Chains A and B, each alone.
Chain A
């Protein structure tokens, strides 16, 4: 179903960097599967793909942070391999990240020249020379601050300028810009575009990663599309329309099978009115019914997880009311949320989910300890009973419940975290990216379980960036963009194109009116 325009790449320019048949696997997942990517001198190549398409893995391979399991990287035709980020830097590849990775307590000049500062006798740093060269670079890119300024005193846009100056100082030939405009104002973005033009005119090859289509069509010369870690297509930006690019991005090659749920949707369980946070989200209103699976779709940084954390009491919204079964509830802490029957299975299992070091059964009973204790003392037999009941319901595969969770696979760890919450017998369960980074088999089990939960009358909020999952599982979908609700879609209105358009803010005559 995916269209493949594949326009011919003009033969007169040969790529400066070419990645070919690059494969990268992590335990349980194939992040990149024989992808290719070419970067041309003096041109901007946009790397386009959904969340999880493999863009950041590609950047990490290009900058030497990850080593690929297979494939070749060529620079000017010579095959090359990077054992470390240092090797990549020496080859002239530099990256400007979404969050700048620079040092707040050092001066601008020190930031620009850290690792390759001009030296005097005895290997001491030649501070005067460093500041002179830094000032020259800053003037060149039109930066309105001195090389002596401390980085902590600069705003995000100016920090980007420092990062760019740093890229120029190492005489980079390849500049990777990973969502460089995410934190910039309109005016700052314009200035960044000018800089990109400067870099182009100097013959640098630029890899530009962005979710914003207007941006891509404004500054990119070429595009490459990845989907689910695989190469989909590439070509010149002039030869493709916005619509075709969206289709290439979301079109599915492998059909996933989702459980057909015939659960009844009952009365309203949760109503959120006017939730607002000073910086992360605003004007969030929705309701959730008994037995319903409500999907939350959006791009990374759209404020979905931030809102869920506020709903769960981890952060405090500045405004807003939450009603559970019609009664106004004040949720100030996760403990309040749990006692009101709202539980949250976070996205980052490693950081926020399982307690590695505790055995499985203790992880499962952690939020239910008051249920398994008698007069203040924990009853191990009760704990095992509860843990066994819920681990069986989730088909958890473990040698023993006494085993350390750290020894389980990602999918099974996820099951432990879900079992932990189900054991508290909640009304509303928030699943944040429930199947991210787990193998296909475990994914199917999680999906099946999710519809089972809904059938049993539990209300599910599923935050997901995977379009097939959102479409396959949700009864209703809320799309968030820039911290606000961009659209609320019923099951019949769902299509990959509609979701992407609302999430990316593309107003198109054909699909734009779906909400």
Chain B
């Protein structure tokens, strides 16, 4: 793990650089620092969600309900804001994170205690969460004029040259970096995904670890729910529809193995940034946005093929060393 992933990250980083170079040859303004900062800000929600998804995928699960969770939390905090415009933003954020975490916990309990396959659980809760948005909102939109200025301004507030939305992503990256490398929880996640049987024998509760992974993913979806709704200053049923697939795609492109146990914070972040750059660059160089889907799709296939090949080479090395040590 320690040697393979930097290689993967370097290649992905290089791919992003090549992409930027290609785009800048057609339109130099794209690589101006201010524009790159905008691209990063635009990608921030994807980065945050990809980190939550990474934790879940590392434990051999998947969370398809993140976008629905985001939309439900976003609608809930938007309605709370309309009902109680005076509620301070930190309280709103705390509510969003808590709501998201509760939804994550529902996924987690179903996977842990009822042993339902995660893809089925989150496909179900995804639909349920979307349905609840409709029920609580009657299908109506919450528009910007109904929201308080404090509510909509917060993610745009500029601190040290970057908007709060960008800072939210940066802080999440740092916290996850520490969590994955330096805490027991982070280590357990790798152990559970890498070898669940061995994890059991080591005294790690596999189901519980997966439960907490879903809670983490849900909490981040909740946080993103507030950031998303306040940034776009609108909340409605179909917000971020289909975004869960982009989140999973970011993880896969970033080298998080769908089989679990292999992946890194850097990989997930670069995977998200890659998708963000593609999304923002194509309109600039006058390529139809429809190509964006094709390019993201190809990137996923290339990344998976690359990871599979990396795994094979590793296999050959094992055999060689085994023979050499005889």
Binding site for B on A (CB under 8 A): 27-28, 312, 314, 333-335, 337-338, 344, 346, 348, 351-359, 362, 366-367, 369-370, 373, 376-378, 380, 397, 402, 404, 406-412, 420, 439
Contacts and interface: CB of A to CB of B under 8 A. Distances in A.
Interface string B308-321: 00000010011101
Given A355-B195, A407-B321, A420 B202 contact: yes
Contacts of A346: 197, 201
Most A CB within 10 A of own CB, among B191, B201, B261, B326: B201
Given A314-B200, A378-B182, A409 B195 contact: no
Contacts of A344: 201
B190 interface: yes
B297 to A, nearest CB: 28
Given A27-B322, A27-B323, A404-B1, A376 B195 contact: no
B183 interface: yes
B314 A406 contact: yes
B321 A358 contact: no
14 contacts: A28-B322, A333-B203, A335-B203, A335-B205, A352-B200, A352-B201, A355-B190, A355-B194, A355-B198, A357-B262, A376-B183, A378-B184, A404-B3, A407-B317
A357 B326 contact: no
A346 B322 CA distance: 21
Most A CB within 10 A of own CB, among B184, B198, B326: B198
A416 B78 CA distance: 53
B2 interface: yes
A378 B195 CA distance: 21
A407 B202 contact: no
Given A358-B194, A359-B1, A369-B184, A353 B201 contact: yes
Nearest to A376: B183
A357 B184 contact: no
Nearest to B263: A357
Nearest to A334: B203
B199 interface: yes
Contacts of A357: 1, 190, 194-195, 261-262
A351 B197 contact: yes
Nearest to A369: B184
B92 to A, nearest CB: 28
Contacts of B286: none
Contact of B322 (A354, A376, A380, A409): A409
A378 B205 CA distance: 19
B142 to A, nearest CB: 39
B325 interface: yes
B326 A351 contact: no
B26 interface: no
Contacts of B326: 27-28, 409, 439
A404 B183 contact: no
Given A28-B325, A28-B326, A346-B201, 11 more contacts: A348-B197, A357-B262, A358-B1, A359-B1, A362-B187, A362-B190, A373-B184, A377-B182, A377-B183, A378-B182, A420-B202
Interface string B168-208: 00000000001001111001001100110111111111000
Contact of B187 (A378, A402, A404): A378
Nearest to A312: B201
A406 B322 CA distance: 10
Contacts of B199: 355
A369 to B, nearest CB: 4
B198 A352 contact: yes
Contacts of B200: 314, 334, 352
Contacts of B3: 404
B2 A402 contact: yes
Contacts of A397: 325
Nearest to B1: A357
Contacts of A439: 326
B146 to A, nearest CB: 42
Nearest to A417: B198
A366 B183 contact: no
B7 to A, nearest CB: 13
A27 B319 contact: yes
Nearest to A411: B325
B317 A334 contact: no
Contacts of B314: 406
Contact of B198 (A338, A353, A370): A353
B192 to A, nearest CB: 9
A252 B1 CA distance: 44
A355 B195 CA distance: 5
A367 B203 contact: yes
Given A334-B200, A357-B262, A358-B190, A408 B195 contact: no
A406 B197 CA distance: 16
Contacts of B325: 28, 397, 409, 411-412
Contacts of A351: 195, 197-198
Most A CB within 10 A of own CB, among B178, B181, B321: B321
A369 B205 contact: no
Given A406-B314, A409-B321, A409-B322, A356 B205 contact: no
Nearest to B4: A404
Contacts of B187: 362, 366, 369, 378
A409 B1 CA distance: 17
A349 to B, nearest CB: 9
Contacts of A376: 183-184
Contacts of B322: 27-28, 409-410
Contacts of B317: 407
A407 B315 CA distance: 9
A354 B183 contact: no
Nearest to B195: A355
A407 B323 CA distance: 11
A232 to B, nearest CB: 25
A354 B190 CA distance: 12
A504 to B, nearest CB: 30
A476 to B, nearest CB: 25
A370 B204 CA distance: 12
B324 to A, nearest CB: 9
A27 B190 CA distance: 28
A207 B13 CA distance: 59
B197 A352 contact: yes
Contacts of A312: 201
B201 A314 contact: yes
B303 to A, nearest CB: 18
Most A CB within 10 A of own CB, among B3, B203, B317, B322: B203
